[in-house]
A and B are shown apart, each in its own frame.
Chain A
Amino acid sequence: MKNLIRVFIAICFLFSIMAVPAVAGNVVKLEKGEPVHLAYWFVTSGPNTSLGMDSLRGAEIAIEDFGGKLKGHPIKLDGQDSMCGPEGGQAAASKIASDPSVIAAIGSSCSSAAKAGVPILWKMGIPNVSPSNTAPLLTDPASGPDFDGYLRTCHNDNIQGAIAAEFAYSQLGLKKAATIHDGSVYAESLQQVFSDTFVKLGGTITSQEAVSPGDTDMRPVLTKIASGGPQFLYYPMFIAESGHVTRQSKEVSGLENIALMSADGSFSPDFLKAAGKAAEGMYHSSPDFSALGDSYTKFLAKHKAKYGMDPEAPFHAHTYDAVMLILNAIDKVAVVSGDTLTIDRMALNKAMHETKGQKGLTGDLTCDENGDCANPKIAIYKTSMADIKAGKMSPKPFWKKY
Chain B
Amino acid sequence: MFQKWKDRVTVTDIVMWMIGGTMLLLCLWGSVSTIRAGLYTSSHWIDFCIFGLAQGSIYALIATGYTMVYGVLKMINFAHGEVFMSGPFTGYFVAMAFWRSDFLDTHPVLGIIVIFGVAMFVSTMIAYFLEKIAYRPLRSAPRLIPLITAIGASFFLQYLFRGLYGSGINAYPDIEILEGFWMIFGIRVLKIQVIVIIAAVLLMLVLYNFIMLTKVGKAIRAVSEDKEAAALMGINVDAMISTTFVIGGMAAGAAGVLYALMFKQVHFFMGFIPGIKAFTAAVLGGIGNIPGAMLGGVFLGLIESVAPALFLDGLGIIAPYQLKDAIAFSMLVMVLIFRPTGILGERLSAKKA
Given contacts A50-B168, A244-B265, contact A214 B52 (CB under 8 A): no
Chain B residues within 8 Å of A216, by CB: 259, 263, 265, 273
**Among residues 300 to 314 in chain B, which have CB atoms less than 8 Å away from a CB atom of chain A?**
304-306, 308-309, 313
Are the C-beta atoms of A47 and B267 separated by less than 8 Å? yes
Report the separation of the CA atoms of residues A47 and B270 in the bound assembly, to the nearest whole angstrom: 10
Counting CB contacts under 8 A, is B93 at the interface? Answer: no
Q: Determine whether B15 belongs to the interface, using a CB cutoff of 8 Å to chain A.
A: no
Interface string of B303-339 (1 = CB under 8 A from A): 0111011000100001111101100000000000000
- CB-CB contacts of B123-166 with A at 8 A, as 1s and 0s? 00000000000000000000000000000000000000010000
| Contact for A276 among B40, B55, B171, CB less than 8 A | B171
- Which A residues are in CB contact (< 8 Å) with B267? 46-47, 240
Q: Is the CB of B51 within 8 A of A243?
A: no
Given A217-B263, A220-B48, A223-B47, verify A210-B170 contact (CB < 8 Å). no
Within the assembled complex, what's the spacing in Å between the Cα atoms of A253 and B320?
A: 20
Q: Distance (Å) between the CB of B21 and the closest chain A CB?
A: 28
Q: A251-B190, A253-B43, A270-B168 are in contact. Are A223 and B322 (CB under 8 A)?
A: no
Task: Indicate if A221 sits at the interface (CB-CB under 8 A).
Answer: yes
Give how many A residues have a beta carbon under 8 Å from the other chain's beta carbons.
Answer: 35
Report yes or no: B319 in contact with A209, Cβ–Cβ below 8 A. yes
Closest Cβ neighbor of B162 among chain A residues: A45
* Number of A-B residue pairs at CB separation under 8 A: 101
Q: In the complex, which residues of chain A have a beta carbon less than 8 angstroms from the beta carbon of B51?
A: 217, 219-220, 223
For B322, what are the chain A residues with a Cβ–Cβ distance below 8 Å?
183, 209-212
Across the interface, name the chain A residue whose C-beta is closest to B272: A214
Place the interface of chain B in its size category: 35 or more
Q: Which residue of B lies closest to A250 (CB)?
A: B179
Report the Cα distance A110→B306, complex, angstroms. 32
* B48 and A223 within 8 A (CB): yes
> Which residues of chain A (192-220) have a CB below 8 Å from chain B?
208-212, 214-217, 219-220
Quick one: closest A residue to B173, CB to CB? A276
Contact of A45 among B39, B52, B167, B188 (CB under 8 A): B167
Residues of A within 8 A of B272 (CB): 214
B168 to nearest A CB, angstroms? 5
Query: Distance in Å from the Cβ of B307 to the closest Cβ of chain A?
Result: 10
Q: Are B264 and A212 in contact, CB atoms less than 8 angstroms apart?
A: no
> Quick one: closest B residue to A44, CB to CB?
B167
**Cβ-defined partner of A243 (8 Å) among B171, B190, B305, B318:** B171
B264 touches A247 (CB 8 A): yes
The answer to whether B169 and A276 touch across the interface, beta carbons within 8 angstroms, is: no
A247 CA / B261 CA spacing, docked (Å):
12
- Do B269 and A46 touch across chains, with their CB atoms under 8 A apart? yes
Contact of B169 among A214, A223, A270 (CB under 8 A): A270
Is A32 an interface position by the 8 A CB rule?
no
Given A46-B267, A243-B265, A251-B190, the answer on whether A220 and B169 have CB atoms closer than 8 Å is no
Which residue of chain A lies nearest to B172 when distances are taken between CB atoms in the complex?
A: A276
Tell me the nearest residue of chain A to B45, going by C-beta.
A223
Bound complex: CA A176 to CA B320 (Å): 20
Question: For the complex, is A393 an interface residue (Cβ under 8 Å from B)?
Answer: no
Q: A243-B265, A253-B47 are in contact. Are A49 and B168 (CB under 8 A)?
A: yes
Bound together, the chains give a CA A362 to CA B51 distance in angstroms of 45
CB proximity to A under 8 Å, residues B249-298: 259, 263-265, 267, 269, 272-273
Q: B6 contacts the other chain (Cβ, under 8 Å)? A: no
Q: Given A50-B168, A208-B318, answer yes or no on A220-B305 (Cβ-Cβ < 8 Å).
A: yes
> In whole angstroms, how far apart are the Cα atoms of A273 and B96 in the complex?
12
Known A270-B168, A274-B171: A227·B40 in contact at CB below 8 Å: yes
Q: Is B174 an interface position by the 8 A CB rule?
A: yes
For A50, list chain B residues within 8 Å (CB): 168-169
A400 contact set on B, CB distance < 8 A: none
Does A277 lie at the interface of the complex (its beta carbon under 8 Å from any beta carbon of B)? yes
Contact with B along A37-51 (1 / 0, CB 8 A): 000000001110110
* Docked-complex contact B167 and A273, CB < 8 angstroms: no
Q: Is A209 touching B321 in the complex (CB atoms < 8 A)?
A: yes
Determine the chain B residues whose CB is within 8 A of the CB of A208 once the complex forms. Answer: 318-319
Cβ of A206 to closest chain B Cβ, rounded Å: 11
A239 part of interface (Cβ distance < 8 Å): yes
Point out the residues of chain B lying under 8 angstroms from A270, CB to CB. 168-169
Contacts A211-B321, A244-B265, A273-B170 given; indicate if A220 touches B43 (C-beta within 8 A). no
Task: Indicate if the CB atoms of A221 and B169 lie closer than 8 Å.
Answer: no
Nearest CB of A to B334, in Å? 21
Q: Kindly state the separation between the CA atoms of A217 and B47 in the bound complex, as whole angstroms.
A: 13
Contact of A274 among B173, B265, B324 (CB under 8 A): B265
User: B318 to A221, Cβ gap below 8 A?
Assistant: no
Min CB gap B279→A, angstroms: 16
B44 an interface residue at 8 Å Cβ cutoff? yes
Q: Does the CB pair B265–A224 fall under 8 Å? A: no
Q: Are B47 and A274 in contact (CB under 8 A)?
A: no
Q: With a CB–CB cut-off of 8 A, which chain B residues contact A221? A: 308, 321
Measured between C-beta atoms, what is the minimum distance from B242 to chain A in Å? 32
Residues of A within 8 A of B (CB): 45-47, 49-50, 183, 208-212, 214-217, 219-221, 223-224, 226-227, 239-240, 243-244, 247, 251-253, 270, 273-274, 276-277
17 further interface pairs, Cβ-Cβ under 8 Å (given A216-B273, A219-B305, A240-B169): A50-B168, A208-B318, A214-B273, A217-B51, A219-B47, A220-B304, A223-B47, A224-B309, A226-B44, A227-B40, A244-B263, A244-B265, A247-B264, A270-B168, A273-B170, A273-B171, A274-B265
A-B contact pairs, 6 of them (CB 8 A): A49-B168, A50-B168, A212-B324, A217-B304, A224-B321, A243-B171
Which 6 A-B residue pairs are closest in the complex by CB-CB distance?
A210-B319, A210-B322, A221-B321, A219-B51, A220-B305, A216-B263
